Structure 1
Amino acid sequence: MRRSLTVSAALALGLTLAAPVHADEATSYGAPEATGAVELSALGTYHADVFDASGAEIVAHDPRTQRLFVVNAAAAVVEVLDVSDPERPEKLFDLETAGVRAADGSVVERGGAANSVAVHGNVVAVAVEAADRTDDGWVVLFDTGGRAVNALRVGALPDMLTFTPEGRTLLVANEGEPNDDVTVDPEGSVSVIPVNRRPAALTQDDVRTADFRAWDEGRELHPDVRVYGPDLSTGEAGTPGRVARNLEPEYIVADTNHSAHVVLQEANAFAVLDLRRAEFTDILPFGTKDHMEPGNELDVSDRDGAITLANWPVRGMYQPDGFDSYRWRGQTLLVTANEGDARDWDGYSEETRLKDLELCEDAPGVREFLEDNDRGIGTVEELTADHNLGRLSVSTAEGLSEDGSCHEEIRSFGGRSFSIFGADGEQLFDSGSDFERITAEAAPEFFNSNHRENTFAGRSDDKGPEPEGVVLGEVRGRTYAFVGLERVGGVMVYDVTDPRAVTFAQYLNNRDFAEDPAGREAGDLGAEGLTFISAGDSPIPGTPVLAVANEVSGTTTLFRID
């Protein structure tokens, strides 16, 4: 049997360590104590038998047929699995998108990729990017039996889609990434599609598009929303400007039938979408995480040979990927998985090592750190050594002095955490350094491992455990967040019923570090998409189930929640 890793530490929630903790100094890393209020256990796994080629990315569940729809980007299809017996998931057939004729007369190309899938009622929607990702993509509509009934043209690089709660409207996040040379940069947008009438009867005229052009035409943009990199605006009337091209919708949650929130990951912000008008009404920044604050420690080097959780003069940009929302005391709260992401193309890259960044001599955070730390680091040269902060991946586009000659502030990618934000952008909770402390206790010899290989601290200089996605679910009247870690792997479970009193429930990693990652016995690698199946919709009557798609191992695993 695979040796799944779980942790229940002996220290109380919220305890932090004043000094760095090294692997050779202590066996406890200050991890929060697991309450055990809920317990995940693996039921069954389906193997796409594809390693490190996005064999299982996004997963959606249909309770009426007890089928899972899993995006296999490697094959550019959606695999349909029967999970009526969740211990033995069985593949039934594929949803093939290539060759489907769209309502505008175009034909879905071969050579593109299926990026996302969503299910509501008898409708299955699949997002498909064009072979040239800067061209407009498609949404292909199927019935749950696998018959293609229609396709509609949407924006460039449709990367995620979702239905509104009652299923009448389909929302598509068109990321609009540039080409590798950054000579073509389509605008980001969200397509708003009514599917309340027969999907087969939809025409291209039914597709409305929400864009960001208003912020190029005089609407004030919050200064902390990141708009940066090459400006490919033509300046011609009616064409998208710099903001419209720069903002790239990553993920959507429809909070109600009339409104949605949209994460703009690279911009470190989120937008508010009015579905009645198909217009964005606001854009708000997530802000940054001060890694000098107690509780926000992180391990920053893959060259020091130790687990060193410490404070550093770095501000992390939260930049969530997946997120979910819930209601608390009449407010909409956003729960974010703070992955982090850089613009990193052949024609433009903002990512570099800190040691290659020109720091201002009087950079306040750095100066204060050098003057007052107990680690004997007294110079910039010592600070930027490989065994200290030198190898950390940071942004060249942020923290610049007014004249642009040097960097006054160090900005890293991601928060290595999950957060709860109010709809006004105020942060109500952040898990701080929990994820690195918990994973350090669970498997210290593979702390911050990558997902393609079994390594020690291989991701410490980048984004650590890299929380990728989060889904919320109600279990016996309590709301839980299930957070997937893309690199070291596994699922973190937290009770978020009250954002003022969040508790850690469990960490389970269905990965065997004793096995070759390329083999079946290694288990789950690269958690990407998560779906919560409620007790009422579950293939196990009365017992909730969590489905996790893992892009590197190409596995889809179901967990029962007790």
Structure 2
Amino acid sequence: MRHRLLPRTFRVLPLCLSLSLLAACGGGSETPSEDLGPRAVKLVKIGGFEGGTLGAAEITAFDAGSKRLFVVNGANGTVDVLDLSNPGAPSKVGTISVSAFGAAVNSVAVHEGIVALAIEANPKTNPGTVAFYSATDLRLLGSVRVGAQPDMIVFTPDGRKVLTANEGEPNSYGLPDSVDPEGSISVITVNGGTAPTGATADFRAFNARAAELRAAGVRIYGPGASVAQDLEPEYIAFNGDGTKAYVTLQENNAIAIVDVATATVTDIKPLGWKDHSLPGMGLDASDEDGGTNTNSGTPLLKIANYPVRGLYLPDAIASYTVGGNTYFITANEGDARADWPGFNEETRVRQHCSNGLDPAVFGTNAANLLFDSNLGRLRITATPNGGTDGKNATGQCTALYSFGARSFSIWNANVERVFDSGEDLERLTSSLGNANFNASHDNNTLDSRSPSKGPEPEGVVLGRFGAKTLAFIGLERVGGVAVYDVTDPRSPVLMDYLNPRDGLGGDRGPEGLHLIPAAKSPNGKALLIVGHEVSGSTTVLQINEFR
């Protein structure tokens, strides 16, 4: 663990920020005028539960009434139930098995004693299930069928409905047994969990608009896939009153906007790309950059600007309100379609651009950029959109698109970017005492992840602390959680960073983040629960505030 200084691109906000600027992001009464929020916060690990194996801790949710924490155990396909009445010493008190419904639990959400589970079918291409359980006695209340591969699940702010992002991944492309289900968002009326009813927000109305969407920048590129099949919903956030849902379409580099009342997708917005050639937007692009124009270099910490376009491809999304306007934050993890037979978009620059880079685009340094010590090792997509390969008629590359932006971004309600953290997450993790720079979660190798998505921000949750809104960003690969004051969406401030890993030990692979506000916490302090997929550990972090 190491507390880092503020990166140079962040400034400290004045404490005299007016309360009228910021509306509550999670409901509840107005903040007292004298509570301007903490001048500083520090994350402190106070407890944890060791699942003991890879995948034993993923997504978590807390029920304040029973003081129970529900942890998706991906290794067993179940949910572990932990007693969190003493946050310093969580203990396992039960298990929810979903074998009667499908293969595994993908996500969990809780609202006032009702536990909702997103359950994947076996095979995953079949329709999934959302099942509701009692938090106190783990009794099954009811269930409802949803789309294929339900991933993230979330209650609306009033608790009356539950939404699931049904990812609908294919099992393969172009093979005799290939199945590519449609992506969708299920909107479920809870009815106490005992009689849930479901509606489906699908993408079929956009099937005839494929060319229009591609031209706008929405990535639709799965071989033989319709728009509805190609779009893969990942994560969900709401506007201030819960009437609209913003859904990340990760592989498609876009956001879907859903009218919750009618269960209708009203729009699909492309996210565009990040220009890594601009000041403050650099990246470490190679694990062999310890040399000059060579294909046999050594690992070196080298964050620099390159003519590369980073596709945001966000995983988690969270929203808040400022001055009556909705903003949302994305964790720009990046993801490639490389997991199924029949299609793999992932390649490296030197391999993909075997005929060279177009000098009209990349300038006089085009030939040198292909060396592994520069861009040659960087993982990029061979299919930026709709079957295109980013090459000219002679086979020279005209644009390089990498996976993920190695950052978090803030967007307004029109899906216009108002902030990006640039290269700061890589700089923040560049001199850790407990892990090498850009090491992965399953190794401690210097520069391991530099050619591919860097620290890989995946999770984000938001919380209200007095007049301030704080964002907690989980870095999946090198690990740890960064805390930012995002009260001013255009000028976030880094407040803390905690990384509890220890080389190849400790808590590794933060997957899901869950914030327990002080008012609902068992010990009266705000807590951040982190499910670590690789180490299989569930970590309890206390958020200490300094005023």
The equivalences for 1:60-459 within 5 A come to 60-99=61-100, 108-109=101-102, 112-145=103-136, 146-181=138-173, 183-195=178-190, 197-202=191-196, 206-218=197-209, 220-221=212-213, 223-232=216-225, 242-255=226-239, 256-304=241-289, 305-344=299-338, 345-358=340-353, 361-362=357-358, 364-367=360-363, 371=364, 378-380=365-367, 382-398=368-384, 400-401=390-391, 405-443=395-433, 446-459=436-449
SS at match of 1:442: coil
SS at match of 1:39: strand
Aligned to 1:482: 472
Check whether the contact 2:9–2:424 (CA below 8 A) recurs between aligned residues.
no
CA drift of 1:287 comes to 1.0
Partner deviation per Cα, 1:230-262 (whole Å, 9 max, x = no partner): 014xxxxxxxxx100000000011323321110
Of 533, 543, 550, 2:532 maps to 550
Partner deviation per Cα, 1:344-373 (whole Å, 9 max, x = no partner): 122101100111113665354422xxx3xx
Using a 3 Å threshold, how does the CA distance of structure 1 residues 538 and 404 change in structure 2: closer, same or farther? Answer: farther
CA drift of 1:153 comes to 1.2
AA at the equivalent of 2:267: D
Alpha-carbon distance in 1 for matches of 2:94, 2:319:
32
Aligned to 1:26: none
The equivalences for 1:461-472 within 5 A come to 461-472=451-462
Partner deviation per Cα, 1:259-282 (whole Å, 9 max, x = no partner): 111000000000100011110001
Check whether the contact 1:14–1:295 (CA below 8 A) recurs between aligned residues.
no
AA at the equivalent of 1:191: S
Of 515, 523, 533, 1:540 maps to 523
Partner deviation per Cα, 1:391-446 (whole Å, 9 max, x = no partner): 11101112624769443100000010111001112111111000111101324960
Aligned to 2:31: none
Alpha-carbon distance in 1 for matches of 2:407, 2:9:
18
CA drift of 1:141 comes to 1.0
Aligned to 1:239: none
SS at match of 2:257: strand
Check whether the contact 2:435–2:478 (CA below 8 A) recurs between aligned residues.
no
Alpha-carbon distance in 2 for matches of 1:92, 1:311:
51
Aligned to 2:47: 44
Alpha-carbon distance in 2 for matches of 1:201, 1:113:
22
Identity of aligned residues (%): 46
TM-score by length of 2: 0.87
The equivalences for 1:503-542 within 5 A come to 503-513=493-503, 517=504, 522-541=505-524
SS at match of 1:473: strand
Alpha-carbon distance in 2 for matches of 1:10, 1:158:
38
Alpha-carbon distance in 2 for matches of 1:261, 1:342:
21
Using a 3 Å threshold, how does the CA distance of structure 1 residues 70 and 314 change in structure 2: closer, same or farther? Answer: same
Query: 5+ unaligned residues in a row in structure 2: which ranges?
Result: 13-37, 290-298
AA at the equivalent of 2:468: R
AA at the equivalent of 1:366: F
Check whether the contact 2:70–2:108 (CA below 8 A) recurs between aligned residues.
yes
CA drift of 1:468 comes to 0.7
Aligned to 1:104: none
Alpha-carbon distance in 2 for matches of 1:48, 1:268:
33
Check whether the contact 2:7–2:428 (CA below 8 A) recurs between aligned residues.
no
Alpha-carbon distance in 2 for matches of 1:397, 1:169:
37
Check whether the contact 2:172–2:180 (CA below 8 A) recurs between aligned residues.
no
TM-score by length of 1: 0.85
AA at the equivalent of 1:80: V
Check whether the contact 2:7–2:494 (CA below 8 A) recurs between aligned residues.
no
CA drift of 1:455 comes to 1.1
Alpha-carbon distance in 2 for matches of 1:10, 1:184:
46
CA drift of 1:218 comes to 4.6
Partner deviation per Cα, 1:88-143 (whole Å, 9 max, x = no partner): 011110011112xxxxxxxx13xx12100000112111111112111111111101
Alpha-carbon distance in 2 for matches of 1:444, 1:97:
38
Partner deviation per Cα, 1:513-556 (whole Å, 9 max, x = no partner): 2xxx3xxxx21100000011111111121x21111101000111
Alpha-carbon distance in 1 for matches of 2:94, 2:156:
27
Using a 3 Å threshold, how does the CA distance of structure 1 residues 363 and 98 change in structure 2: closer, same or farther? Answer: farther
Query: 5+ unaligned residues in a row in structure 1: which ranges?
Result: 16-34, 100-107, 233-241, 372-377
CA drift of 1:12 comes to 6.5
CA drift of 1:14 comes to 7.0
Check whether the contact 1:114–1:129 (CA below 8 A) recurs between aligned residues.
yes
Check whether the contact 2:133–2:142 (CA below 8 A) recurs between aligned residues.
yes
Please report the RMSD computed on the Cα atoms of aligned residues, expressed in angstroms: 1.9
CA drift of 1:41 comes to 0.5
SS at match of 2:229: helix
